[in-house]
Chain A
Amino acid sequence: DIQVTQSPASLSASVGDRVTITCRSTQNIDIYLNWYQHKPGKAPRLLIYAASTLQSGVPSRFSGSGSGTDFILTISSLQPEDFATYYCQQTVRIPRTFGQGTKLEIK
């Protein structure tokens, strides 16, 4: 199976900060990498697909980059509603594995 590892596991930041979360896969996955946001009690939300394509309706402060084995999710200026857990997921192979998550908390 392809493993994807996120870092950091948790992150404290303030409103207005620029934040980056990284995702690394154990194999070359081209751009078969998605990013999701999840808040407790809510449905997970797709943010970015194919490594860098912003899902419709997602604010432009979110961006994704990378290809191959290394990927980055960037939030350019944190807003209060952005405090959540973020997951990457590879979709090049079954099983479509998720990273372990990055919990973004308010400093």
Chain B
Amino acid sequence: EVQLVESGGGLVQPGGSLRLSCVVSGFTFRDYNFNWVRQAPGKGLEWIAYISTSNSIFYADSVQGRVTISRDNAKSSLYLQMSSLRAEDTALYFCARQKATIRGPYYYYYMDIWGKGTTVTVSS
């Protein structure tokens, strides 16, 4: 079964750090690009980070400089190291596999498989 399972969330004080993990199964991890997406309480989805198979990395401005996305192909795992956490980082964090459909010279990207998320709460 194709599956992504996030872990590592919890309660952390403002200014603290946390490392989220996403373990995948059912497909070859090293062949895919991945994203982290979050959902603050009562809010919509927010894309925050991307990593390619060749470790090209992009971040949303809201987390740039405070989070680091990484991957370990040997462990079929994706990570999000979060530091200098703020109350506004309180959210449900999802990992998502990225695929693309190719039409001529164009690549149309989409997130086809998602985990159920892990909750991060930043509060004193």
Do A and B form a real pair?
yes
Main SS at interface, chain B: strand
Q: Number of B interface residues, CB 8 Å?
A: 26
B30-61 at interface with A (beta carbon < 8 Å): 35, 37, 44-47, 50, 58, 60-61
Which residue in A53, A99, A101 is a CB contact (below 8 Å) of B101? A53
The answer on a CB contact under 8 Å between B115 and A43 is yes
Distance of A32 Cα from B50 Cα, bound (Å): 17
In the complex, A71 has a CB within 8 A of chain B: no
Shortest CB distance B103–A (Å):
7
Shortest CB distance A83–B (Å):
17
The answer on a CB contact under 8 Å between B103 and A50 is yes
Distance of A1 Cα from B112 Cα, bound (Å): 23
Number of cross-chain contacts by CB at 8 Å: 69
Distance of A42 Cα from B35 Cα, bound (Å): 17
Q: Number of A interface residues, CB 8 Å?
A: 28
The answer on a CB contact under 8 Å between B111 and A46 is yes
Distance of A45 Cα from B109 Cα, bound (Å): 15
Q: Which residues of the other chain, A, contact B96 by a CB distance below 8 angstroms?
A: 44
In the complex, A25 has a CB within 8 A of chain B: no
Residues of A whose CB lies within 8 Å of any CB of B are 30-32, 34, 36, 38, 41-46, 49-50, 53, 55, 85, 87, 89, 91, 94-101
Given contacts A43-B116, A53-B101, 4 further A-B contacts (CB under 8 A): A36-B111, A44-B96, A49-B108, A96-B47
